[in-house]
Amino acid sequence: MVAWLCNRLLKISRVLQEFTRNEGGPGAFARLRTFFEWQLKKSQQTIADLIHGVDTYKGVGDPARGTSGPFAYDAAPWSSLRRIFRHLPLELSRFTFIDMGCGKGRIVLAASAFPFLSVVGVEFSPPLCRIAEHNLAVCRFLRRRAGSARIIECDAVELAVPSTPCVFFFYNPFNSVLLEIVIRRIVDSHSEFPREIYLICVGMSTVVPQICRIPRIRLLYSSSMRFGMSDNRTVYVFTVTGD
């Protein structure tokens, strides 16, 4: 961890030197602020990974996405669920938590610290599934209270939706077409097994009108939450109705 912090400070020092040489340029302070906010966010998540002994941040090559080199993806912060469930009081022990498009499993790990009936991460990419499974196996210093936690490798539209009460977590994982198909399948599962179903959508403001048009989907509330120094994301909570 010491070596990592030294490298990070060295990078920041180089940026400051560059800024000093070019101070006065248009938008210089805005660019500098953006850089520091990004570095702070990256540092917080990387330090959390180091503490837990996992990898939920680094890029990875993924043939399923047509990439041979590492690609970056934006995973939800470790603290996301703690903030969200302050505003969504549920008897969590009755619910299955499902992270749709779980990536390397950061939110699956975070959810396993809550007393859910079970926690499931759904991911299409085989390389990401293997990393998520490894993270579940080796994660340390995390009090796991969920009944179980696992990763399912499948296309989200083919997921066998659990018949238990469910909380689905979406951190902008799909395009709008696929998202609507997935949500409609969740609604169909409610017709077969009527039960409580909640959908938590983070940072998906552009597709919220589309979600609201899906029959039997009702928006319970929305709230802006801070995910960084100036990184506010709107959290939308929907429920499936019997109407």
DSSP string, 124-137: S-HHHHHHHHHHHH
* Res 75: pLDDT: 83
* Res 26: pLDDT: 55
Alpha helix locations (H) across the chain? Answer: 2-21, 28-52, 80-84, 106-111, 126-138, 176-192, 208-212
Query: What three-state secondary structure class fits 223?
Result: strand
Q: Are 103 and 76 in contact (CB under 8 A)?
A: no
Does the structural domain 80-240 have CATH classification 3.40.50.150?
A: yes
- How confident is residue 233, by pLDDT bands cut at 50, 70 and 90? confident
137 Cβ partners below 8 Å, 6+ apart?
none
- How confident is residue 104, by pLDDT bands cut at 50, 70 and 90? very high
Q: Region 36-63: what's the mean pLDDT?
A: 74
Can you tell me the distance from the alpha carbon of 106 to that of 202, in angstroms, rounded to the nearest whole number?
15
Can you tell me the distance from the alpha carbon of 181 to that of 169, in angstroms, rounded to the nearest whole number?
15
The 10 Å CB-count burial string (b at 16+, else e) for 21-37 is eeeeeeeeeeeeeeeee
Residue 44 has pLDDT above 50, yes or no: yes
34 Cβ partners below 8 Å, 6+ apart?
none
> Whole-model pTM?
0.82
4 Cβ partners below 8 Å, 6+ apart?
46, 50
Q: Region 7-11: what's the mean pLDDT?
A: 53
Strand 118-123 relative to strand 96-100, pairing: parallel
Identify the CA nearest to 113 among candidates 134, 92, 138, 129.
Answer: 92
Can you tell me the distance from the alpha carbon of 204 to that of 223, in angstroms, rounded to the nearest whole number?
12
* Res 46: pLDDT: 80
Residue 178 has pLDDT above 70, yes or no: yes
Identify the CA nearest to 115 among candidates 97, 137, 139.
Answer: 97
Instruction: Give the chain's mean pLDDT.
Output: 84
Token pair recorded at residue 210: 């589309």
Q: Region 47-76: what's the mean pLDDT?
A: 72
> For the chain, which residues make up each domain, given as ranges?
2-52, 80-240
- How confident is residue 3, by pLDDT bands cut at 50, 70 and 90? very low
* Res 232: pLDDT: 79
Kindly report which listed range (50-64, 78-92, 197-211) carries the lowest average pLDDT score.
Answer: 50-64
Q: Region 4-15: what's the mean pLDDT?
A: 52
- How confident is residue 2, by pLDDT bands cut at 50, 70 and 90? very low
Long-range interactions of 11-20: CB distance < 8 A, separation 24+: 11/39, 12/36, 12/39
- In the chain, what percentage of residues exceed pLDDT 70? 74
Token pair recorded at residue 107: 């939110």
* Res 149: pLDDT: 98
